[in-house]
Amino acid sequence: MSLLVQFENIARDFNGNSVFRDISFEISTAEHLALLGPSGCGKSTLLRLLAGLDPPSQGRILINGKIVSEDGKILVPAHERQMAMVFQDLALWPNLTALQNVLLGMGRMNLGRRERRTAAMAALEICRMESFANRKPASLSAGQQQRVALARALAVRPKLLALDEPFSGLDLTLKTEILEEIRRLAKELDLTVLLVSHDALEAVALCTEAFVLENGRCKEKGSFDLLLQNPASTTLRTFLQNIPDAQRFIP
């Protein structure tokens, strides 16, 4: 597999306080990587750097071998990075229908009005939400809202799908259903997936690789199978205590 993303010696500071230092890792094309760690460790901050929403204080980020951010500068804007995000709060506009929410996310695509609508409906169909195209978020279940947010992300035809803790408000049964749906779509569309989570149960359901961030540093990284044999992080040691629950997620 070819390299899609490279983080090289990344640091991020806020008001003189370090969030993390010397973060380096790679994501290959079609890889599914989980970014794990306790709440407040900087997982979402790292994702914002990749998305081009914030610059790194130090280091550089490359996508497809091209430097997109470097030493306090964003060189390639978010909409040109060929990635899409699903946020924890989903960020659906309550006054817009499902179709309109998807169309809104396609605003920077160079498509005519008819082509855009066709692509938006295709994304809803992929997520099995085409029959709800004219419904507003308030009239949809939590799982249906998740699918609309996912359709909006897929409609921009990303190479990388980033998921920023989007399952935290779901019960176990619904979470399992949504994870199965994303696995299906990732395989069908050959997507590279980056899941940001503090919940290793979600991560093992979707990802084969893991990167654990603790105390501002990379604590460990590699395949889940190998890491779980001798975990160095508190995050994965805690996960091992919940192995029976994890079986519900594992495909």
DSSP code string of 120-148 = HHHHHHHTT-GGGTT--GGGS-HHHHHHH
Report strand pairing: 192-197 vs 17-28.
Answer: unpaired
pLDDT of residue 209: 94
Residues 100 and 174 reside in one and the same domain:
no
pLDDT of residue 243: 59
Cα 81 to Cα 21: distance, rounded to the nearest angstrom: 24
Whether the CB-CB separation of 25 and 7 falls below 8 Å is answered with yes
Residues 132 and 251 reside in one and the same domain:
no
Residues 144 and 178 reside in one and the same domain:
no
Last residue of a domain, one of 157, 177, 201: 157
Last residue of a domain, one of 126, 157, 188: 157
Q: What is the pTM of this model?
A: 0.88
Q: What ranges in the chain are assigned the alpha helix state H?
A: 43-51, 98-105, 113-126, 142-154, 172-189, 200-206, 224-229, 234-240, 243-246
Per the structure, how many domains does the chain have?
2
Residue type, 189: L
Report, as ranges of residue numbers, the positions in the chain whose pLDDT lies below 70.
1, 242-251
Residue 128 belongs to domain spanning: 83-157
User: For residue 42, what is the domain's CATH number?
Assistant: 3.40.50.300
Contact partners, residue 122, CB within 8 Å, separation at least 6: 155
Last residue of a domain, one of 100, 129, 157: 157
pLDDT of residue 242: 66
pLDDT of residue 20: 94
